[in-house]
Amino acid sequence: MADFSVPVHPRLEPHLSADFLTGRPSLGWFADDGNILVLKSHSTVYFAIPKNANSSMKVFLSKYLGTSSDADVALHTVNYENAKLKEEGAMVDKSGASKCKGYFKFAIVRNPWDRLVSAYRDKIRQPGYSDSEITDGLHEGLWSFGRMFRAGMKFDDFVTSIMNIPDYISDRHFRSQYSYIYDESGTCLVDYIGRYELLGDALSHIGQQIGISFADFPHVRPSSRSPYTDYYTPKTRDLIAQRYATDLALFGYTYGGQVA
C-alpha cells in the first residue's frame, strides 16, 4: 500500500529562521496546550492540529472513549475526567505523549493557504452574528488581540493581522502547524503525518495501523465555499508564504499546487 505520509524532517534548524518573527523570546512557544488525545485501548496518540478535520476526528474518537459523540459535546468540552475516560484515555501535553512508548502517533496537516481561509471564515462573521463561540461577529478566541480583528473585516486585512502576530502568542487556529508535532529540539514526535487533502487515504492508513474502521467518519461543521485561491492577491499569497515558510518547507505544499 502506498504511504501517504508527509516526509518527516528530523531537524528543524534549516527552517527555523524563516517564520520566527521579531520579539520571539525563546523556543518555549512551541504548541503544547494539552490537546493531544491518547486512546489507550488502541495504543494510539492523536496530535490535534486545529482546522485540519480536528473536530471530526475528536467526535469520531469520542465513541472509543465511552463519551458522547454529539458534536456540541465532543468537540471541545468532552469530560475527560470521568472514570471511564481516566481509564481509557486522556488529553495530554507533549510530555504526557512522550510517555506513550510503542503507541502509534499521528497528525493531519493542511495547505497553509487553505487552512487560513478556513480560519477566517470560521472566526470572522458579519456584525450582529452570534452563536456559542462568536459574539457580534467575532470569535471569542480573537478578543484578546484587541483591534487587530473585527467583525466583517476583509480577508486582506485579516492576513495583515496574522502577519503581525508571532506564533508564540498566536491563536491556535492559525499557529504554524509544525509547532504541534515537533518539540523544541527539532524532533518530530509523530510516526505518521496525513494530508487533509487526501483525508480518505490518510484515514485508511491510520485505520490499518490501529485496527479501527473509519467508514463512518463524520464531517463536522461542513462548509461550502470557492477555492482558497479566490481569496488571495499576489501580495497576500506571498505574505502567507513568508508567514508559514516552515510549514511549506516541511510538508511540501505549494500555492494552488496538486497534492502528490
Q: pLDDT tens-digit profile of 215-232?
A: 989 877 667 789 999 999
Q: What is the pLDDT of residue 85?
A: 44
User: Which whole number is the average pLDDT over 15-33?
Assistant: 45
- Kindly list the domain boundaries of the chain, sorted by start residue: 16-251
Q: To the nearest whole percent, how much of the chain has pLDDT over 70?
A: 75
Between the alpha carbon of residue 168 and those of residues 19, 36, 42, 84, 147, the distances in Å are 11, 18, 33, 34, 19
104 vs 87: CA distance, rounded Å: 19
186 vs 182: CA distance, rounded Å: 6
Residue 257 zone, left/alpha/beta (φ > 0; ψ -120 to 50; rest): beta
Average pLDDT, the chain: 81
Q: Which of 121, 170, 107, 163 shows the shortest CA–CA distance to 142? A: 170
Q: Let me know: does 198 contact 259? Beta carbons within 8 Å.
A: yes
pLDDT tier for residue 81 given thresholds of 50, 70 and 90: very low
Strands 44-47 and 104-109: parallel
Pick the more confident residue, 59 or 5.
59
107 pLDDT more than 60: yes
Q: What is the pLDDT of residue 61?
A: 85
Q: Which of 249, 108, 52, 242 shows the shortest CA–CA distance to 166? A: 242
User: Which whole number is the average pLDDT over 72-79?
Assistant: 47
Phi, psi of 97, rounded to the nearest 5 degrees = -65, -35
User: Which whole number is the average pLDDT over 81-92?
Assistant: 54
Between the alpha carbon of residue 236 and those of residues 56, 124, 159, 209, the distances in Å are 29, 17, 7, 39
Question: Which letter does DSSP use for residue 182 in this model?
Answer: B
Q: How many CB atoms lie within 10 A of CB 241?
A: 18
User: Which whole number is the average pLDDT over 175-184?
Assistant: 90
User: Which whole number is the average pLDDT over 23-30?
Assistant: 44
pTM of the model: 0.82
84 pLDDT more than 60: no
Task: Kindly report, residue by residue over 130-166, the tens digit of the pLDDT.
Answer: 988 899 999 998 998 989 999 999 999 999 999 999 8
Pick the more confident residue, 117 or 168.
117
